[in-house]
Amino acid sequence: MRNVTIILIMVLATLGPAAVIAIVGFAAVKAVGRNPSAAAKILMSMITAFVFAEAIAILALLVVFNLFR
């Protein structure tokens, strides 16, 4: 039962940031399609959002590893 709990928590901890990355990527492609001249600004904000989403995923996985070690 403990392994199932760990797997479920890890899936939820990675599913959230993965969804954020998918939404941000879709919105960035849509924004560049509408206004190609703003691609540099859109790229920087997209990369920043990706970094924060990945940081949340890494922190969540580290917490899970430390709690169930």
Give residue 65's pLDDT.
85
Which residue has 């879709």 as its token pair? 26
Q: Could you report the per-residue pLDDT of 9-53, keeping only the tens digit for each? A: 889 888 988 999 999 999 999 999 999 999 999 999 999 999 999
Amino acid identity, residue 22? Answer: A
Q: Is 17 exposed, middle or buried (0-12, 13-18, 19+ CB in 10 A)?
A: buried
SS3 (DSSP) at 68 = coil
- Model pTM score: 0.77
DSSP string spanning 2-62? HHHHHHHHHHHHHHHHHHHHHHHHHHHHHHHHH-GGGHHHHHHHHHHHHHHHHHHHHHHHH
- CATH code of the domain covering residue 60: 1.20.20.10
Give residue 13's domain range. Answer: 2-67
Domain count, the chain: 1
